[in-house]
Amino acid sequence: MDGEIEILVSEEEFQELKRHKREFKSNLKNLEGLERTLRVLQYRYLTEKLAELEKKLEEMKEHYSSLIEFEKMAKEDKVYLMGKRSELSEENRRLEAKVRGHEGSH
Amino acid sequence: MKVVISTGGRWKKLKLKIDDETFAHVEKIAKKYGFRVDDTIKMLLKGDFIDDIPPEITDGKIEELKREVDSLKKELYGLEGKWSPLKFKTYYLAMDNQNLAIQLAAMIAQNKRLRKSLGMEEKEYGELEEKIHYYLNFGSAEGGESKPGKGNVVPNGGRG
């Protein structure tokens, strides 16, 4: 099969690749070297990816537990604030009545 | 297989030939290690191969790393799935508390006014005022506010 593959590169990369044209034939015979290189590059990529994911997961776990803690606090606060609202509402009603009583007696 | 390297222009072209068997092999290696064929050919042309390879880098080790990466991704997605609805829920819980704080701030002001009119002593609202202050400022300063008691998170819910 006589196919063709076109690779588009930048001007800078073109010049660099052009300089290596002569070595291409001998490099083609070193497919083992190519395979070793790709193996190392993939190993590096995967170890970096793993470290990145470990870091992200650690951060996420921290955020998640802070959120759980915040939810607990906010729920307790809601009960507390609602209790205080009824207390104050009752007290203000009583005081309001007293003030009205005072005003009425003058 | 004919390989044409160009900058996209009409004239600057570098033409190379790779026999089909070798090309198929290159393609196979590239696919095996997750590389694009064009990048692999460029690498082949430059010949900048890594020769000094630590013995622990084997295909088996790579497979092991792939499994670890997949497992961490799975764990992360699982946690993200639980985290988003919780963030949403706590945001609305904090908004409820903010509404309560607004009401309570008005009620405390009223209480102070009434007590003054009746010549009564002012009441202390230390803890309550601290909570009111916190929820009134909720979301306005990401995590920078002083918190009532414990907790170190100011979720901003659906706002990003």
DSSP structural state of residue B121: P
Residue A2 lies in a domain: no
Q: Is B138 on the interface with A (CB under 8 A)?
A: no
Q: How confident is the model at residue B1 (pLDDT cuts 50, 70, 90)?
A: confident
pTM for the whole thing?
Answer: 0.71
Q: Measured between CB atoms, which of A8, A36, A74 is closest to B90?
A: A74
How many folded domains does chain A comprise? Answer: 1
Instruction: Give the pairing type, strands B13-17 and B2-6.
Output: antiparallel
Q: What angle do CA B39, A18, A33 make, to 5 degrees?
A: 45
Q: Which residue of B has its CA nearest to A96?
A: B114
Contacts 24+ apart (CB under 8 A), B61-64: B61/A43, B62/A39, B62/A42, B62/A43, B62/A46, B62/B33
Q: Measured between CB atoms, which of B2, B7, B110 is closest to A9?
A: B7
Residue A3 lies in a domain: no
Distance from CA of B141 to the nearest CA of A (A): 16
Instruction: Decide: helix, strand or coil at residue B2.
Output: strand
Residue A53 lies in a domain: yes
How do residues B47-75 score in pLDDT, each as one tens digit?
Answer: 889 988 888 899 999 999 999 999 999 99
Instruction: Give the pairing type, strands A4-8 and B2-6.
Output: parallel
C-alpha gyration radius of chain B: 33
Mean pLDDT of chain B: 86
The range of the structural domain enclosing residue A72 comes to 11-105
Residue A1 lies in a domain: no
Q: Is B49 on the interface with A (CB under 8 A)?
A: yes
Residue A4 lies in a domain: no
Residue A84 lies in a domain: yes
pLDDT for res B141: 55
Q: Which residue of A has its CA nearest to B5?
A: A7
How do residues B104-122 score in pLDDT, each as one tens digit?
Answer: 999 999 999 999 999 999 8
Q: What is the ipTM of this complex?
A: 0.73
Judge: A81–B104 Cβ closer than 8 Å, yes or no.
Answer: yes
Residue A52 lies in a domain: yes
Per-residue pLDDT of chain A (106 residues; tens, 9 = 90+): 568 889 999 999 898 888 888 888 888 888 999 999 999 999 999 999 999 999 999 999 999 999 999 999 999 999 999 999 999 999 999 999 999 887 766 6
Q: Which two tokens stand for residue B160?
A: 């990003």
Residue A49 lies in a domain: yes
How do residues B73-90 score in pLDDT, each as one tens digit?
Answer: 999 999 999 999 999 999
Category of A9 on φ-ψ map: left (φ > 0), alpha (ψ -120 to 50) or beta: beta
Which of B2, B13, B33 is the best mutation test for A, with the most CBs of A within 10 A?
B33
Q: Measured between CB atoms, which of A28, A53, A99 is closest to B117?
A: A99
Q: Which two tokens stand for residue A73?
A: 């606090």
What CA–CA distance (Å, rounded) separates B105 from B145?
A: 18
